[in-house]
Structure 1
Amino acid sequence: MSQNEQALAKTALYDLHVELGAKMVPFAGYEMPVQYPLGVKKEHNHTREQAGLFDVSHMGQVLLHGEGAAAALEKLVPVDIIDLPAGKQRYALFTNDAGGIMDDLMVSNLGDKLMVVVNAACKEQDIAHMRANLGEGVEIEVLEDRSLLALQGPKAVDALARLQPSVTDMVFMDFQTVEINGIDCYIGRAGYTGEDGFEISVPSSQAAELAKALLEQPEVEAIGLGARDSLRLEAGLCLYGNDIDTTTTPYEASLLWAISKNRRLEGEREGGFPGAETVLAQIQSKKADRKRVGLLGQGRAPVREGTELVNAQGETIGTVTSGTFGPTAGAPVAMGYVAFEYAAIDTEVFAVVRGKQLPMTVAKTPFVPQRYYRG
């Protein structure tokens, strides 16, 4: 049986998605809801205005046990893990020996263990990478029996606080073990929409029960992958496999903020991650062949992934890696890679769509202000 013919996996919420009238599509080896009867645009707007519930159970969830887990993991990522406080989480990148990005992930410190959440399409590769490199003192526990829900939007906290009032005390990037409706959950105040919200790891046997309890709240609607994509793109957030991959370094990907300062400076913990020599050389010289940029369209036509970017002379200078019409931005929004000399804000470039050159402007991201709750 070829890869394409293999049976798609189903999350614990599959039956609920079908019951809610979701249109199911293949995504990263799973059958996932792309939209519900509300439709992508209304789902997008509802999340921006109230609260949306997303099934992200296709992601990989892993616990790392052992005293040396933080030090071992820090050798694989360009961020500070040793000093990550208990009850906090951090965005990280797995890099390869050339400095390319193997995956992006979230690392959370539960005090006696670390939790790592990785992308669905990279799950097997990432777990193998950790098994091969973390050393014998670290026990890797893959959580096959847990689901992941994301509750996102300005009213997410109101909805969740009815079920567990303590969540109102959490701020952006807090992470803790919490009981919600009598269900033991790991919960982080973070997300992938640019809005305030929570990501909740729940035992798969109780995932539908928790999802239904959340959907009963007046602010909450079920939201599919379609709106998840337009929300994260407006928020300037990368999608692994589109905007970042093994051929892009963190510097080229404009992810300098995802490299902890103590891993960039001269000192005992400078570098120390795979491909550091390449990445630190790019940071120091402030130069690379290409750079990831935000792109704002001047018309109404969306510019999709894979579209060629040219200069005023019609010479190819880059490619769009993600693009859509941004319902909140009210304009076509995209991100892509351009030759370094075209990466400055306000530079005009052109997207080649059906033989026409559509003007686009290199723009700051996020396209829509991020509204994380920092207290």
Structure 2
Amino acid sequence: MAEELLRLGLHDLHVELGGKMVPFAGYEMAVQYPAGVMKEHLHTRAAAGLFDVSHMGQVILRPKAGMEALCLGFEALMPVDVLGVAAGRQRYGLFTNETGGILDDLMFANRGDHLFVVVNAACKHADVAHMRAHLADVAELEFIQDRALLALQGPLAEAALARIEPAVAAMRFMDVGMFGDLWVSRSGYTGEDGYEISLPMAQAEGFARRLMDMPEVLPIGLGARDSLRLEAGLCLYGHDIDTTTSPVEAGLVWAIQKARKAGGAREGGFPGAAHILKELAEGPSRRRVGLRPDGRAPMREGTALFAGDAPAGQITSGGFGPSVNAPIAMGYVPVAQAKTGTALEGDVRAKRLPVTVADMPFNPTTYKR
């Protein structure tokens, strides 16, 4: 018997807006609205798109014996400098396992007297259990259940949100702020400037309607959310990264700060450190790369790649990029085939089609630095 899908707090609003509801990460969510994926994608790039990401996990970690102890304890779970994140700032993080694989990727913010963590929907219960097991001595953990999480993304996101809360206009990329009941970060997963807003569920529908009453704001579904992040070259957990991929293979070395690398102030000390530090020093055997299929037909996840007759990895995410007006993909290939411009072939319905290793992002990012 199929597992019953959960519903978001704004489910009725999505249905009212004409959302086409599909299963995703255990929830019933809108894959698109009447405008369609292509228009929703392009509208986000040109104006502002509103995404309901309330399926994500929201967690507060409060210190038992000061913020330094909490930050060091949280840092012990991942190869990321937590101690160096200033109050009012946010950082991308990765929980790793003992073999150097990725348990989940996440965002965490230092809000002065506590950490606020946002984790992926499909991993959130495992992540909460992981944090409870390993942070019991340094943190009190609150798994938040009564707040929505909305993302407002695009070049006009600032103008729209500033009509409701003017102070957000002064925020920079990865800044966080608390404005009454609104917990805001200037971040997102589209490659565009924008915000993520956590707010009480009881206020979420009125807040969302107020934004959508603005001419520049359109509701955006899962389809455009995926094509936007793919154009930005961003990983989707469970597809481009998982417990079998290391941060080095995945091209996430930028997320491992100097303090945690060999010779750093707090070198190692995280799960899988021996494997990850070795890969940092010697290089991995494979790498995540951008891929450009020839022609107009996308190459989807699972497509096998070849260099001549030799297997050369596979695609982990693929589709059509509306902003670049061409098919795009990403996947893992041996280091020997990872150089930009390398010609490969993808096996599409038992037919070999040309695909070329390409730089990412496919579409330039527009974060407000």
TM tier relative to shorter chain: over 0.9
| Unpaired segments ≥5 residues, structure 1 | none
Greater shift after overlay, 250-259 or 260-269?
Answer: 260-269
1:279 & 1:273 partners in 2: Cα distance? 10
| Superposition TM-score, scaled by structure 2 size | 0.97
The aligned length equals 365
- Deviation of the 1:272 alpha carbon: 1.3
Of the candidates 240, 244, 247, which is equivalent to residue 244 of structure 2? 247
After superposition, residues 35-184 of structure 1 pair within 5 angstroms as 35-66=32-63, 67=66, 68-179=69-180, 184=181
2:206 & 2:113 partners in 1: Cα distance? 28
1:268 & 1:303 partners in 2: Cα distance? 43
Residue type of the partner of 2:35?
L
Please state if 1:294 is matched with 2:269.
no
**3-state SS, counterpart of residue 198 of structure 1:** strand
Residue type of the partner of 1:298?
D
Greater shift after overlay, 242-251 or 77-86?
Answer: 77-86
**Contact 1:79 1:263 survives alignment (8 Å):** yes
After superposition, residues 133-282 of structure 1 pair within 5 angstroms as 133-179=134-180, 184-282=181-279
**3-state SS, counterpart of residue 223 of structure 2:** helix
**3-state SS, counterpart of residue 320 of structure 1:** strand
Residue type of the partner of 2:33?
Y
2:322 matched residue in structure 1: 327
**Contact 1:72 1:135 survives alignment (8 Å):** no
| Unpaired segments ≥5 residues, structure 2 | none
1:17 matched residue in structure 2: 14
Residue type of the partner of 1:302?
P
Moved over 6 A (4+): none
**Contact 1:22 1:35 survives alignment (8 Å):** yes
- Deviation of the 1:289 alpha carbon: 2.2
Residue type of the partner of 1:296?
R
- Deviation of the 1:82 alpha carbon: 1.0
**3-state SS, counterpart of residue 242 of structure 1:** coil
Of the candidates 339, 346, 350, which is equivalent to residue 351 of structure 1? 346
**3-state SS, counterpart of residue 206 of structure 2:** helix
2:318 & 2:264 partners in 1: Cα distance? 40
1:263 & 1:59 partners in 2: Cα distance? 27
1:267 & 1:11 partners in 2: Cα distance? 43
Residue type of the partner of 2:88?
G
**Contact 1:56 1:150 survives alignment (8 Å):** yes
**3-state SS, counterpart of residue 90 of structure 1:** strand
Q: Kindly, what percent of the aligned residue pairs are identical?
A: 58
Residue type of the partner of 2:206?
E
1:173 & 1:35 partners in 2: Cα distance? 28
Q: Deviation string for 1:54-83 (max 9, x for gaps)?
A: 000000000000122211100001111112
**Contact 1:188 1:200 survives alignment (8 Å):** yes
Residue type of the partner of 1:293?
V
Residue type of the partner of 2:291?
L
Please state if 1:303 is matched with 2:304.
no
- Deviation of the 1:331 alpha carbon: 1.2
**Contact 2:262 2:277 survives alignment (8 Å):** no
- Deviation of the 1:137 alpha carbon: 2.9
1:265 & 1:37 partners in 2: Cα distance? 52
Q: Deviation string for 1:66-108 (max 9, x for gaps)?
A: 1222111000011111121000000000000000000000000
1:52 & 1:314 partners in 2: Cα distance? 44
1:234 & 1:202 partners in 2: Cα distance? 29
**3-state SS, counterpart of residue 208 of structure 1:** helix
